[in-house]
Structure 1
């Protein structure tokens, strides 16, 4: 049985949307069990069936605007901290929250713990590709770190490759480095150094620099970026998708009868467009580089997003992704140490 520790109080629509999505996943997958941390009264109001749901009472909630590390340290009985401790102590296999992103990252690092050999864990998000229905690409880091060193960007290439292989089933994922030009000589000192490191690693299918305008064309499977840039790109894509749909709706409403008739005829096409741009089906953002699956869904996530994120977590646990990843980085670390010892000799 897979046990998922859930911060039931995190998110704009918690606990309603969280519980609804959890119950959908529970009903779909017979091997999922959920530990719901939060206010029992509020949670029970939303629960339809308590089968494979354990409610653990907590007295505190970390709000969206709180300073992350301070909140983690002060609110020991918050739903997020208690859920993270359950993962650390082996009572649960994974941690999920729609709440404060910074607090979840802090909980992942300070409580769940960083994998030995990983310099800085990064958030990996999955985004749609418009050129091929059902296709997507991974982008990391999307906000765990505001700044990164070249070696950290190189590690994101390794992290992204491993995730794409184990979760998405891509045997030899194409790795691209987000930059302000496709040419190898473009970029700042950090991206130039990262480019060289990625290119020198023969185990990576590194295709070089990629520009932001080409990401949704499916030019690569994994895009490496520093956290500041990655987060800005993520939100730009989300905003553009939402803006286009709003503009279409406005144009139809303002276009009179002919426009409305045309929209009715094009309704199947609009549905397909909306479905293709729907990020909820890709699950949440995973904090790669910590000792258990720590997954963050958007604060405004609905039940559908929560459901698909639980499916994503199940895939990670079933695939033994984190233990294999720990072994992978342990071997890399051992090889680095052996190389250093040989150089000293």
Structure 2
């Protein structure tokens, strides 16, 4: 089959809490913004086609493949691999990137299953032991990249450096920065604080002067919202807790605002007058709207959409996928990692003592 021109997205139509009823309208919204985009859709025909038939623009820009198996949101990764390898909508969505039929894969399905399948299907890039999930984080200055937010529990110094390189490449591709600033998330900014692997990663990043990133040292938890650096690097256990804490705080603030705005008739009037501002604040803080985690470190790009998002959130994840493909994220990550590892191997060779022979 001849590959169409433009950006092609492989899409797991069965992923998330709502399946095709939300995924396909979201794809149609994104297509409106990026008319050169095409889709390869995977899912169960009886659920996909009734929705797709009602979206003529998307249908004309898509190729659909029926899949007998769909990965459930509560499936364990090992179970998903056993039952869905080679034939589920999730697997085939990823496989389309491997075969070159698509530029990037998008799924709102089970995160653990998606990562397991992506690692098994695409494999990790050369010199990368573990992949990372990078999230777009709203800040007072705009947006930043935070990784890892859940793929890797624990990380040594080399893995934190790899995350820094991959996050820097993503920030350049997404934000158009020549040399994005990078910080390691720590319990303090002093060089003597933190675990050994974080201090060692900081030392190596400082001494290496890696092209493509501007290392600014350690950052703390409150720097995430401030936008102190363009890229915040941590391991997946801490990163996932930070992400879930931010999501919970956003919901808490929204609940406080709703309660305050409904307390008196004057407050309700104030809310009506300021509704536009409150709507913008809600969208800024809603994790379903600022949507799309990027799997980095694999031989291909996979985007994880929030499982509970709506059509607009799905469109945001697909917009991100389009941007990552158009800006050649995979090529930039690969080039940066090759440059760094060549430099490090050269430095190591130069440090070896001369032979006495």
Compute the TM-score of the two structures, normalised by the length of structure 2. Answer: 0.90
User: Which of residues 322, 333, 336 is equivalent to 2:341?
Assistant: 333
User: Which of residues 75, 78, 99 is equivalent to 1:66?
Assistant: 75
The count of corresponding residues between Structure 1 and Structure 2 is: 341
* 1:128–1:279 Cα contact (<8 Å) kept: no
Give me the CA root mean square deviation.
1.8
SS, match of residue 212 in structure 1? coil
* 2:37–2:61 Cα contact (<8 Å) kept: yes
1:82 maps to 2:89: no
Query: Relative to structure 1, is the Cα distance of residues 332 and 218 closer, same or farther in structure 2, using a 3 angstrom cutoff?
Result: closer
Unaligned runs of 5+ in 2: 1-5
Q: Once the two structures are superposed, what CA deviation does each residue of 1:69-117 show, in whole Å capped at 9, x if it has no partner? A: 3412332311101111222112221111000101111122110221112
User: Which of residues 145, 166, 178 is equivalent to 1:171?
Assistant: 178
Counterpart position of 1:124? 134
* 1:3–1:33 Cα contact (<8 Å) kept: yes
Counterpart position of 2:157? 150
Unaligned runs of 5+ in 1: none
The within-5 A match list for 1:271-286 is: 271-280=279-288, 282-286=290-294
* 1:86–1:92 Cα contact (<8 Å) kept: yes
Counterpart position of 1:53? 62
User: Which of residues 29, 32, 35 is equivalent to 1:24?
Assistant: 29
Q: Once the two structures are superposed, what CA deviation does each residue of 1:26-49 show, in whole Å capped at 9, x if it has no partner? A: 233222111111111111121221
Compute the TM-score of the two structures, normalised by the length of structure 1. Answer: 0.93
Query: Relative to structure 1, is the Cα distance of residues 269 and 282 closer, same or farther in structure 2, using a 3 angstrom cutoff?
Result: closer
How far apart are residue 341 of structure 1 and its match?
4.6
* 1:10–1:100 Cα contact (<8 Å) kept: yes
How far apart are residue 299 of structure 1 and its match?
0.6
Distance 1:280 1:60 in 2: 26
SS, match of residue 126 in structure 1? strand
How far apart are residue 340 of structure 1 and its match?
4.5
Counterpart position of 1:305? 313
Query: Relative to structure 1, is the Cα distance of residues 276 and 160 closer, same or farther in structure 2, using a 3 angstrom cutoff?
Result: same
User: Which of residues 44, 49, 53 is equivalent to 1:44?
Assistant: 49
User: Which of residues 150, 164, 167 is equivalent to 1:160?
Assistant: 167
